[in-house]
């Protein structure tokens, strides 16, 4: 938690004002029983209406001043807590954005989302309650006891017995329930995970008719959460009856001893009422303090989880600024003895890759499912660092580039076309924020998406739902390709990004890219042999190894894996569909 307090440094004034005004509120609250006692002892006893009205005015003044102090404290506490959580969320988001794919894979999307949402909310509530009640409640408890001794020291001995017993009950129950609350939070995380999986994968669930199984699994997770909550709830429920029993026993003791002293004239009736008021104040504040401690314990657990994310350091370090790297070779991409092993994986996903690609060449990367095609192309923009060997772009190790320079050189269209909520124009401008409408239409034309946008009522300003849900798969892919083309990268990677396109559209797309000026170095990752028939170089992968590289004709002669892929897609090698590149 100490590491996170740095996010409160801009709210030092609010963090001081809030508890100070809460203490003022408590201070005025402590005077209320004394005023009530004075009304009974002097006003009512003597029948002095003027004095009663005067003291009622004092009570009203105390109420107004207390309310003003409370509202002021609430305002500054809320301002500090909300500001703290906003800064913390921004820091978390920046931290997550700085992580490499390795850390994102290790942590998982659900974990990171929970840290930025529910855990930060817990911390916000914890800071708010700490500023408001952490000092007020103990002040009321001990202040009430001291003022009770001022009213009547002998009768106040009851407080000496009641307060320790109340502390034992309250904090004993907290001690028992805190670890159980942690279990409840874990069960809640499981329910949230299942909920998220079901909502994001609802189409797959329905496609495989798995609704009943998923409902059953959710009910099991929900039932486990229910059991834990009921268990901890039963223990927590003991707090109110036990504390009220102790307080009522204390009240009985006060009334018994106070009544005797009133009869013998050593204590006033109003003093007995004041003592009862102080006993009630102590009870209320101890319950508040108990709830605050529970909330702070949850916030502390959340603080540890948030700190773990903030302390994560990317395994990938980029240069602060790319030095003047003169282009000394015609090779645009070169892999030298490159291997890749993912974090936590036992075996290497890529082993000893060696190949080079010249500027402007078209390269096809083909292989079976799980052969490592995507892993290979992810090394070029440095989404992952090679475990062994060197990956070069433009004749230089990718580790010598700063992130902005490398990512501007390499444009990649992912396997899954992801579009963001907004207009088509806003999505395309991700490729180049300064692109003109002419450049956007040029990219759309090359990506075979011009007709899609022209068919929309608002054209470039037509709306795109989150994830592109209001578009077909092929439309999403073409818009994703256009977004990358807007940036005019020197290296263009199509990672199976035309899988939803028909063969004719796929051929037109490749032909349009081939006629771009300047022509980018093109890498096509595909299961379709037709997409790379006329590529300058085809790399065949099998189980993370290069088992063949060369032209289409060369691979048909000497690569068994390529022959198998090709023959599975074409009945006749002589009359195979002609691709254009």
pLDDT of residue 433: 92
* Same domain membership, residue 479 and residue 523: yes
Using CA atoms, how far apart are residues 354 and 196, in angstroms rounded to an integer? Answer: 41
Structure tokens belonging to residue 412: 């990649």
Q: How would residue 196 be classed by pLDDT, with cut points 50, 70 and 90?
A: confident
pLDDT digits (tens, 9 = 90+) for 119-145: 899 899 999 999 988 888 889 988 988
HSE of 228, CA atoms in CB hemisphere, 13 A: 21
pLDDT digits (tens, 9 = 90+) for 349-395: 999 999 999 999 999 999 888 889 999 999 999 999 999 999 999 88
Q: Look at residue 91 and tell me if it is in a domain.
A: yes
pLDDT digits (tens, 9 = 90+) for 335-346: 999 999 988 777
439 C-beta neighbours (distance < 10 Å), count: 18
Q: Is 541 helix (H, G, I), strand (E, B) or coil?
A: strand
- 72 DSSP assignment: H
Q: Can you give the three-state secondary structure of 350-396, one letter per residue? A: EEEEEEEEECCCEEEEEECCCCCHHHHHHCCCCCCCCCEEEEEECCE
Question: Which residues make beta-bridge pairs with 545?
Answer: 542
Confidence check: pLDDT of 540 > 90: yes
350-358 sheet: strands from edge to edge: 350-358, 331-340, 388-393, 396-397
Confidence check: pLDDT of 581 > 50: no
Using CA atoms, how far apart are residues 78 and 85, in angstroms rounded to an integer? Answer: 10
Residue 551 burial by Cβ neighbours in a 10 Å radius (0-12, 13-18, 19+): middle
Query: Rounded to 5 degrees, what are φ and ψ at 244?
Result: -70, -35
Q: Please state whether beta strands 362-367 and 537-542 pair in parallel, antiparallel, or not at all (unpaired).
A: parallel
Give the torsion sign (CA, 93, 95, 98, 101): negative
Confidence check: pLDDT of 2 > 80: no
- 411 within 8 A of 485, measured Cβ to Cβ: yes
Could you tell me which residues come within 8 angstroms of residue 439 by beta carbon, excluding any fewer than 6 positions away?
432, 486
Q: From 257, 275, 310, give the residue that closes a domain.
A: 310
DSSP-derived secondary structure for 291-344: HHHHHHHHHHHHHHHHHHHHT---S----SS--------SEEEEEEEEEE--TT
For residue 520, the domain's CATH number is 3.40.50.300
Domain that holds residue 68: 11-310
pLDDT digits (tens, 9 = 90+) for 411-461: 999 888 889 999 999 999 999 999 999 999 999 999 999 999 998 888 899
| 175-181 average pLDDT score | 82
Q: How would residue 230 be classed by pLDDT, with cut points 50, 70 and 90?
A: very high
* Same domain membership, residue 337 and residue 299: no
% the chain with pLDDT above 70: 97
Q: Look at residue 2 and tell me if it is in a domain.
A: no
Helices 239-264 and 269-310 pack at an angle, to 10 degrees, of 150
Q: Look at residue 20 and tell me if it is in a domain.
A: yes
For residue 134, the domain's CATH number is 1.20.1560.10
Q: Look at residue 581 and tell me if it is in a domain.
A: no
- 409 within 8 A of 393, measured Cβ to Cβ: yes
* Same domain membership, residue 357 and residue 442: yes
- 351 within 8 A of 546, measured Cβ to Cβ: no
* Same domain membership, residue 533 and residue 412: yes
Q: Look at residue 175 and tell me if it is in a domain.
A: yes
- Round the average pLDDT of the chain to a whole number and report it: 87
Report how many domains make up the chain: 2
Q: How would residue 573 be classed by pLDDT, with cut points 50, 70 and 90?
A: low
pLDDT digits (tens, 9 = 90+) for 299-329: 887 888 888 888 888 888 887 776 666 666 7
pLDDT digits (tens, 9 = 90+) for 56-98: 999 999 999 999 999 999 999 999 999 999 999 999 999 888 8
pLDDT of residue 578: 46
% the chain with pLDDT above 90: 41
Using CA atoms, how far apart are residues 407 and 428, in angstroms rounded to an integer? Answer: 16
């Amino acid at each position: 938690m100490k590491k996170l307090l740095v996010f409160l440094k801009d709210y030092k004034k609010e963090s001081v004002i809030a508890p100070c005004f809460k203490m003022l509120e408590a201070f005025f609250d402590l005077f209320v029983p004394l005023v009530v006692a004075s009304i009974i002892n002097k006003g009512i006893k003597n029948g002095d209406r003027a004095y009663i009205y005067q003291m009622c005015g004092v009570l009203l003044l105390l109420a107004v001043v207390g309310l003003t102090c409370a509202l002021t404290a609430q305002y500054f506490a809320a301002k500090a807590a909300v500001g703290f959580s906003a800064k913390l969320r921004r820091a978390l988001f920046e931290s997550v954005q700085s992580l490499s794919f390795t850390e994102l894979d290790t942590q998982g999307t659900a974990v990171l989302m929970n840290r930025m949402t529910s855990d930060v909310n817990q911390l916000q509530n914890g800071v708010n309650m700490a500023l408001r009640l952490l000092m007020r409640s103990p002040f009321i408890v001990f202040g009430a006891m001291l003022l009770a001794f001022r009213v009547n020291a002998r009768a106040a001995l009851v407080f000496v017995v009641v307060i320790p017993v109340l502390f034992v009950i309250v904090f004993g129950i907290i001690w028992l329930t805190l670890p159980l609350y942690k279990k409840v939070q874990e069960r809640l995380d499981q329910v949230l995970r299942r909920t998220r999986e079901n909502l994001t994968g609802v189409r797959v669930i329905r496609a495989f008719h798995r609704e009943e199984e998923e409902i059953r699994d959710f009910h099991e997770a929900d039932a486990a959460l229910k059991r834990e909550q009921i268990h901890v709830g039963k223990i927590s429920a003991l707090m109110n009856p036990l504390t009220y029993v102790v307080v009522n026993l204390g009240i009985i003791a006060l009334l018994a001893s106070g009544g005797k002293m009133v009869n013998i004239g050593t204590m006033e009736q109003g003093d007995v009422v004041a003592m009862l008021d102080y006993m009630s104040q102590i009870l209320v504040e101890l319950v508040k303090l108990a709830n605050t401690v529970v909330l702070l314990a949850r916030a502390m657990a959340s603080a540890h989880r948030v700190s773990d994310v903030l302390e994560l350091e990317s395994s990938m370090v980029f240069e602060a600024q790319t030095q003047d790297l003169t282009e000394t070779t015609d090779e645009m991409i070169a892999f030298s003895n490159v291997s890749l092993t993912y974090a936590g994986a036992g075996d290497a996903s890529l082993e000893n890759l060696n190949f080079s690609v010249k500027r402007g060449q078209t390269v096809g990367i083909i292989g079976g499912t799980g052969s490592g095609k995507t892993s290979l192309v992810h090394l070029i923009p440095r989404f992952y660092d090679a475990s062994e060997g060197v990956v070069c772009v433009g004749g230089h190790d990718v580790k010598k580039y700063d992130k902005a320079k490398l990512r501007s050189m390499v444009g990649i269209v992912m396997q899954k076309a992801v579009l963001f909520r907004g207009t088509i124009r806003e999505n395309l401008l991700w490729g180049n924020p300064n692109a003109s409408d002419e450049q956007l239409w040029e990219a759309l034309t090359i990506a075979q998406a011009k007709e899609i946008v022209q068919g929309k009522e608002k054209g470039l300003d037509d709306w795109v739902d989150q994830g592109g849900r209001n578009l077909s798969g092929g439309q999403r892919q073409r818009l994703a390709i256009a977004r990358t083309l807007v940036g005019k990268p020197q290296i263009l990677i199509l990672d199976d990004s035309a899988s939803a396109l028909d063969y004719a559209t796929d051929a037109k797309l490749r032909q349009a890219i081939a006629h771009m000026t300047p022509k980018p170095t093109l890498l096509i990752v595909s299961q379709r042999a037709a997409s790379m028939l006329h590529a300058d170089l085809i790399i065949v992968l099998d189980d993370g190894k290069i088992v063949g590289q060369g032209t289409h004709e060369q691979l048909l002669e000497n690569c068994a894996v390529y022959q198998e892929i090709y023959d599975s897609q074409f009945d006749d090698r002589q009359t195979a569909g002609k691709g254009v590149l």
